[in-house]
Amino acid sequence: MEMEIDYVYEEKFLQELLVSLRLFNPILYSKINRTGKLNTMIGEIFEIRDPDFYLAGYYANLGLSALSKFVENSAHLSKEQVEQIKRHPTLSYEFVLQKGLNKVADYVYYHHELPDGSGYNGIDNYPKESAYINIADTFEGLISPKPYRPPHTFREAVSITLKPYRDGMLVPKNELREIEKLLYTFYNQTLESL
């Protein structure tokens, strides 16, 4: 028998975690917070009211906290260091799984997979919700300035982010058009806050 999840508690826990991250790791906080917000916005346009989807958008990159020494210097990573960073979905998965958030864990685990199987683990059959998280995460990363490069322009970021989904197999083309409009709004809002 599965335990009933107290989503009010889980949301409060997440908010307290974000406050801690903001104080102790502001770069990771920004990544997690902006990815979570964009993911939530994507969910809203498709009327996804699943609290697991909401939580997954924020928890997807929590595993980067264990890898922060690599992330901060990600311009000059060795192949082994890149492989360590690619572990972050698994680390995030293990964290939320320990909290009993099984559905959240699944969404988180697959958030770096791609429809053609070229993602971190080479899996091509995964929840569509994970694709939405991937879109939010990728776009956020591209428009955020890094110590080793300026932010990508909107056109560059949207092209790179949505390219794996253009065939319409996992995310239908009409949804991609809606997502692209939303990304434009998010891009402008994010530029104002940077």
Counted domains in the chain: 1
Q: Residues 11-28: what's their mean pLDDT?
A: 96
Q: Residues 165-192: what's their mean pLDDT?
A: 92
Report yes or no on 24 lying in a domain.
Answer: yes
User: Any idea what DSSP says for residue 149?
Assistant: B
Report yes or no on 17 lying in a domain.
Answer: yes
* pLDDT tens digits, one per residue of 84-138: 889 999 999 999 999 999 999 999 999 999 999 999 999 989 999 999 999 999 9
Closest listed residue to residue 44, CA positions, set 141, 181, 168, 170: 181
Rounded-to-integer distance, Cα 98 and Cα 121, Å:
21
R_g over Cα of the chain: 16
Whether 39 shows a pLDDT value over 70: the answer reads yes
* pLDDT tens digits, one per residue of 72-92: 556 677 888 778 889 999 999
Say which CATH number the domain at 64 has: 1.10.3210.10
Report yes or no on 132 lying in a domain.
Answer: yes
The pLDDT score that the predictor gives to residue 68 is 67
Report yes or no on 1 lying in a domain.
Answer: no
Report yes or no on 101 lying in a domain.
Answer: yes
Report yes or no on 2 lying in a domain.
Answer: no
Rounded-to-integer distance, Cα 75 and Cα 144, Å:
14
Closest listed residue to residue 194, CA positions, set 155, 149, 143, 142: 143
Report yes or no on 84 lying in a domain.
Answer: yes
The pTM score is: 0.93
User: Do residues 12 and 55 lie in contact, with contact meaning Cβ atoms separated by under 8 Å?
Assistant: no
Residue 77 dihedral angles phi and psi, to the nearest 5°: -95, 145
- Residues of the domain holding 77: 7-193
The pLDDT score that the predictor gives to residue 45 is 97
Confidence label for 67 from pLDDT (cuts 50, 70 and 90)? confident
